[in-house]
A = this chain, B = another copy of it.
Amino acid sequence: MNQDKHSPIQVIDRLAALLDALAAQDGGASLKILSAETGLHPSTAFRILAALIQHGFVARDETGLYLLGPHLLQLAAKVRVGLDVRALARPEMEWLRDQVGETVNLTVRQGDEMVYVERVTPNRMMRVEQLIGSRAPLHVTAVGKLMLGEAGAAATRDYAKRTRLPAYTANTRHDIKALLEDIGICSARGYALDNEEAELGVGCIGALIRDATGAAVAGLSVSAPMERRQLAWVTLVQEAARRVSARLGFAE
Protein backbone atom coordinates (compact mmCIF):
# COMPACT_ATOMS: atom_id res chain seq x y z
CA MET A 1 0.00 0.00 0.00
CA ASN A 2 3.04 2.23 0.01
CA GLN A 3 2.25 3.81 -3.30
CA ASP A 4 5.29 6.02 -3.03
CA LYS A 5 8.13 5.25 -0.74
CA HIS A 6 8.85 8.86 0.19
CA SER A 7 6.31 11.10 1.79
CA PRO A 8 7.13 14.54 3.12
CA ILE A 9 7.81 13.12 6.59
CA GLN A 10 10.35 10.39 7.08
CA VAL A 11 9.06 9.09 10.40
CA ILE A 12 5.71 8.43 8.81
CA ASP A 13 7.32 6.43 6.02
CA ARG A 14 9.07 4.45 8.73
CA LEU A 15 6.08 3.77 10.89
CA ALA A 16 4.10 2.72 7.83
CA ALA A 17 6.85 0.24 6.99
CA LEU A 18 6.73 -1.12 10.54
CA LEU A 19 2.94 -1.51 10.50
CA ASP A 20 3.09 -3.22 7.11
CA ALA A 21 5.81 -5.55 8.39
CA LEU A 22 3.60 -6.43 11.36
CA ALA A 23 0.61 -6.99 9.07
CA ALA A 24 2.68 -9.43 7.05
CA GLN A 25 3.47 -11.60 10.08
CA ASP A 26 1.51 -14.70 10.91
CA GLY A 27 1.87 -14.05 14.62
CA GLY A 28 3.85 -11.56 16.60
CA ALA A 29 7.27 -10.29 15.63
CA SER A 30 10.42 -9.47 17.59
CA LEU A 31 12.25 -6.18 17.45
CA LYS A 32 15.10 -7.81 15.57
CA ILE A 33 12.78 -9.18 12.89
CA LEU A 34 11.05 -5.84 12.43
CA SER A 35 14.36 -4.00 12.34
CA ALA A 36 15.64 -6.38 9.66
CA GLU A 37 12.44 -6.22 7.59
CA THR A 38 12.28 -2.46 7.58
CA GLY A 39 15.99 -1.71 7.44
CA LEU A 40 15.74 0.49 10.50
CA HIS A 41 18.35 0.60 13.21
CA PRO A 42 17.09 -1.41 16.21
CA SER A 43 17.03 1.54 18.57
CA THR A 44 15.11 3.61 16.01
CA ALA A 45 12.62 0.84 15.41
CA PHE A 46 12.29 0.34 19.16
CA ARG A 47 11.45 3.95 19.75
CA ILE A 48 8.95 4.26 16.90
CA LEU A 49 7.27 1.06 18.10
CA ALA A 50 7.12 2.44 21.65
CA ALA A 51 5.35 5.53 20.34
CA LEU A 52 2.93 3.39 18.33
CA ILE A 53 2.23 1.30 21.43
CA GLN A 54 1.44 4.44 23.38
CA HIS A 55 -1.26 5.30 20.91
CA GLY A 56 -2.62 1.79 20.50
CA PHE A 57 -1.51 1.22 16.93
CA VAL A 58 0.81 -1.54 18.13
CA ALA A 59 0.65 -3.88 21.11
CA ARG A 60 2.90 -6.45 22.73
CA ASP A 61 1.90 -9.89 23.85
CA GLU A 62 2.98 -11.59 27.08
CA THR A 63 6.16 -12.91 25.45
CA GLY A 64 7.16 -9.44 24.31
CA LEU A 65 6.41 -9.90 20.62
CA TYR A 66 4.92 -6.95 18.78
CA LEU A 67 1.43 -7.13 17.25
CA LEU A 68 -0.88 -4.70 15.50
CA GLY A 69 -2.88 -2.88 18.14
CA PRO A 70 -6.56 -2.32 18.93
CA HIS A 71 -6.72 1.34 18.04
CA LEU A 72 -6.56 0.30 14.40
CA LEU A 73 -9.88 -1.49 14.87
CA GLN A 74 -11.49 1.58 16.33
CA LEU A 75 -10.24 3.80 13.52
CA ALA A 76 -11.20 1.24 10.87
CA ALA A 77 -14.73 1.23 12.22
CA LYS A 78 -14.91 4.88 11.26
CA VAL A 79 -13.61 4.48 7.72
CA ARG A 80 -16.38 5.41 5.37
CA VAL A 81 -17.06 2.79 2.80
CA GLY A 82 -17.97 3.97 -0.61
CA LEU A 83 -14.90 6.15 -0.75
CA ASP A 84 -12.76 3.80 -2.79
CA VAL A 85 -15.52 1.49 -3.88
CA ARG A 86 -17.16 4.06 -6.06
CA ALA A 87 -14.13 4.82 -8.20
CA LEU A 88 -13.18 1.16 -8.40
CA ALA A 89 -16.66 0.05 -9.31
CA ARG A 90 -17.32 2.61 -12.01
CA PRO A 91 -15.74 0.75 -14.94
CA GLU A 92 -17.53 -2.50 -14.10
CA MET A 93 -20.79 -0.69 -13.66
CA GLU A 94 -20.42 0.81 -17.11
CA TRP A 95 -19.57 -2.61 -18.52
CA LEU A 96 -22.65 -4.11 -16.89
CA ARG A 97 -24.87 -1.30 -18.11
CA ASP A 98 -23.61 -1.86 -21.64
CA GLN A 99 -24.35 -5.59 -21.35
CA VAL A 100 -27.91 -5.26 -20.11
CA GLY A 101 -28.97 -1.85 -21.29
CA GLU A 102 -30.39 -0.88 -17.90
CA THR A 103 -29.49 1.26 -14.91
CA VAL A 104 -26.75 -0.04 -12.65
CA ASN A 105 -26.58 1.09 -9.01
CA LEU A 106 -23.93 0.97 -6.33
CA THR A 107 -25.25 1.06 -2.77
CA VAL A 108 -23.78 0.97 0.70
CA ARG A 109 -25.47 0.07 3.92
CA GLN A 110 -26.01 2.78 6.49
CA GLY A 111 -27.90 1.50 9.48
CA ASP A 112 -31.29 0.27 8.36
CA GLU A 113 -31.03 1.57 4.81
CA MET A 114 -29.12 1.15 1.60
CA VAL A 115 -27.81 4.44 0.21
CA TYR A 116 -27.31 4.94 -3.51
CA VAL A 117 -23.75 6.19 -3.90
CA GLU A 118 -23.14 5.73 -7.61
CA ARG A 119 -25.23 5.05 -10.69
CA VAL A 120 -24.77 4.63 -14.39
CA THR A 121 -27.76 4.88 -16.68
CA PRO A 122 -28.51 3.51 -20.16
CA ASN A 123 -29.17 5.70 -23.11
CA ARG A 124 -32.95 5.29 -23.12
CA MET A 125 -35.77 7.35 -21.72
CA MET A 126 -37.88 4.75 -20.00
CA ARG A 127 -35.64 3.56 -17.23
CA VAL A 128 -35.53 3.10 -13.48
CA GLU A 129 -33.47 5.71 -11.75
CA GLN A 130 -32.61 6.54 -8.18
CA LEU A 131 -30.93 9.78 -7.19
CA ILE A 132 -27.46 9.45 -5.76
CA GLY A 133 -27.81 9.92 -2.04
CA SER A 134 -31.32 8.52 -1.91
CA ARG A 135 -32.10 5.72 0.48
CA ALA A 136 -34.13 2.57 0.55
CA PRO A 137 -35.02 0.23 3.44
CA LEU A 138 -33.06 -3.01 3.50
CA HIS A 139 -35.98 -5.41 3.29
CA VAL A 140 -37.36 -4.09 0.03
CA THR A 141 -34.18 -4.04 -2.02
CA ALA A 142 -32.32 -6.96 -3.52
CA VAL A 143 -28.96 -5.91 -2.09
CA GLY A 144 -30.51 -4.94 1.24
CA LYS A 145 -31.81 -8.47 1.66
CA LEU A 146 -28.35 -9.83 0.97
CA MET A 147 -26.93 -7.46 3.59
CA LEU A 148 -29.46 -8.79 6.10
CA GLY A 149 -28.32 -12.31 5.22
CA GLU A 150 -24.77 -11.20 5.99
CA ALA A 151 -25.86 -9.76 9.31
CA GLY A 152 -27.53 -13.00 10.38
CA ALA A 153 -30.92 -14.01 11.67
CA ALA A 154 -30.71 -12.26 15.04
CA ALA A 155 -29.73 -8.97 13.48
CA THR A 156 -32.52 -9.38 10.94
CA ARG A 157 -35.05 -9.93 13.71
CA ASP A 158 -33.74 -6.80 15.45
CA TYR A 159 -34.08 -4.87 12.19
CA ALA A 160 -37.63 -6.16 11.81
CA LYS A 161 -38.46 -5.12 15.36
CA ARG A 162 -36.98 -1.67 14.92
CA THR A 163 -38.56 -0.92 11.56
CA ARG A 164 -41.69 -3.09 11.76
CA LEU A 165 -41.04 -4.01 8.10
CA PRO A 166 -43.33 -1.46 6.47
CA ALA A 167 -44.97 -2.63 3.27
CA TYR A 168 -44.36 -0.53 0.17
CA THR A 169 -46.32 -2.69 -2.23
CA ALA A 170 -48.42 -5.80 -2.06
CA ASN A 171 -45.18 -7.71 -2.84
CA THR A 172 -43.17 -6.40 0.08
CA ARG A 173 -42.09 -9.06 2.55
CA HIS A 174 -43.41 -7.49 5.72
CA ASP A 175 -43.67 -10.74 7.65
CA ILE A 176 -40.47 -11.78 9.41
CA LYS A 177 -40.82 -15.44 8.57
CA ALA A 178 -41.30 -14.80 4.88
CA LEU A 179 -38.43 -12.30 4.90
CA LEU A 180 -36.05 -14.70 6.63
CA GLU A 181 -36.95 -17.40 4.17
CA ASP A 182 -36.37 -15.08 1.20
CA ILE A 183 -33.07 -13.95 2.71
CA GLY A 184 -32.00 -17.53 3.22
CA ILE A 185 -32.70 -18.34 -0.41
CA CYS A 186 -30.94 -15.22 -1.69
CA SER A 187 -27.90 -15.69 0.52
CA ALA A 188 -27.52 -19.30 -0.57
CA ARG A 189 -27.74 -18.38 -4.24
CA GLY A 190 -25.39 -15.42 -4.04
CA TYR A 191 -27.81 -12.97 -5.66
CA ALA A 192 -31.16 -11.46 -4.82
CA LEU A 193 -34.19 -10.23 -6.68
CA ASP A 194 -36.49 -7.35 -5.89
CA ASN A 195 -39.82 -8.25 -7.43
CA GLU A 196 -41.74 -4.98 -7.18
CA GLU A 197 -41.19 -4.97 -3.44
CA ALA A 198 -40.08 -1.36 -3.17
CA GLU A 199 -42.19 0.05 -5.98
CA LEU A 200 -44.71 -1.48 -8.34
CA GLY A 201 -43.32 -1.98 -11.82
CA VAL A 202 -39.68 -2.04 -10.70
CA GLY A 203 -37.57 -5.16 -10.80
CA CYS A 204 -34.04 -5.52 -9.58
CA ILE A 205 -31.17 -8.05 -9.48
CA GLY A 206 -28.44 -7.51 -6.89
CA ALA A 207 -25.18 -9.02 -5.66
CA LEU A 208 -22.71 -8.15 -2.92
CA ILE A 209 -19.27 -6.59 -3.24
CA ARG A 210 -16.66 -7.78 -0.73
CA ASP A 211 -13.41 -6.26 0.41
CA ALA A 212 -10.04 -7.72 1.41
CA THR A 213 -11.41 -8.89 4.74
CA GLY A 214 -14.34 -10.71 3.13
CA ALA A 215 -16.81 -8.19 4.52
CA ALA A 216 -19.74 -7.17 2.34
CA VAL A 217 -19.02 -3.48 1.87
CA ALA A 218 -21.38 -2.55 -0.95
CA GLY A 219 -24.05 -3.80 -3.26
CA LEU A 220 -24.23 -3.79 -7.03
CA SER A 221 -27.59 -4.01 -8.75
CA VAL A 222 -29.41 -3.68 -12.03
CA SER A 223 -32.80 -1.96 -11.89
CA ALA A 224 -35.27 -2.22 -14.73
CA PRO A 225 -38.95 -1.96 -15.48
CA MET A 226 -40.34 -5.29 -14.41
CA GLU A 227 -41.36 -6.37 -17.89
CA ARG A 228 -37.82 -5.81 -19.21
CA ARG A 229 -35.94 -7.58 -16.48
CA GLN A 230 -34.27 -10.84 -17.57
CA LEU A 231 -33.03 -13.51 -15.19
CA ALA A 232 -30.23 -14.19 -17.68
CA TRP A 233 -28.60 -11.05 -16.30
CA VAL A 234 -27.90 -12.72 -12.95
CA THR A 235 -24.55 -14.09 -14.06
CA LEU A 236 -23.56 -10.71 -15.47
CA VAL A 237 -24.41 -8.94 -12.21
CA GLN A 238 -22.44 -11.53 -10.26
CA GLU A 239 -19.51 -11.23 -12.64
CA ALA A 240 -19.37 -7.45 -12.28
CA ALA A 241 -19.62 -7.73 -8.49
CA ARG A 242 -16.88 -10.35 -8.49
CA ARG A 243 -14.57 -8.08 -10.48
CA VAL A 244 -15.12 -5.11 -8.17
CA SER A 245 -14.54 -7.37 -5.17
CA ALA A 246 -11.28 -8.55 -6.67
CA ARG A 247 -10.22 -4.95 -7.10
CA LEU A 248 -10.91 -4.42 -3.42
CA GLY A 249 -8.60 -7.27 -2.57
CA PHE A 250 -11.25 -9.94 -1.98
CA ALA A 251 -9.83 -13.37 -2.59
CA GLU A 252 -12.29 -16.20 -3.02
- Classify the secondary structure of A's interface with B: helix
Contact B154 A152, beta carbon cutoff 8 Å: no
A63 within 8 A of B: no
The answer, yes or no, to whether A131 is at the interface (CB within 8 Å) is no
Interface string of A106-149 (1 = CB under 8 A from B): 00000000000000000000000000000000000000000001
Interface size class of A (residues with CB under 8 A): 35 or more
Partner of A7, one of B51, B79, B213, B249: B51
A67 lies within 8 A of chain B by Cβ: yes
Provide the A159-185 mask, 1 if CB < 8 A to any CB of B, else 0: 000000000000000000000100110
Q: How many copies does the complex hold?
A: 2
Residues of B contacting A12 in the complex (Cβ-Cβ under 8 angstroms): 11, 15, 48, 51-52, 54-55
13 pairs of residues in contact across A and B, judged by CB atoms under 8 Å: A2-B54, A2-B55, A3-B54, A8-B51, A9-B51, A23-B74, A67-B83, A68-B80, A69-B83, A72-B75, A149-B152, A150-B152, A180-B184
Which residues of A are interface residues toward B (Cβ below 8 A)?
1-4, 7-9, 11-13, 15-16, 19, 22-23, 27, 47-48, 50-52, 54-57, 59, 61, 67-80, 83-84, 149-154, 157, 180, 183-184, 187-188, 190, 211-213, 249
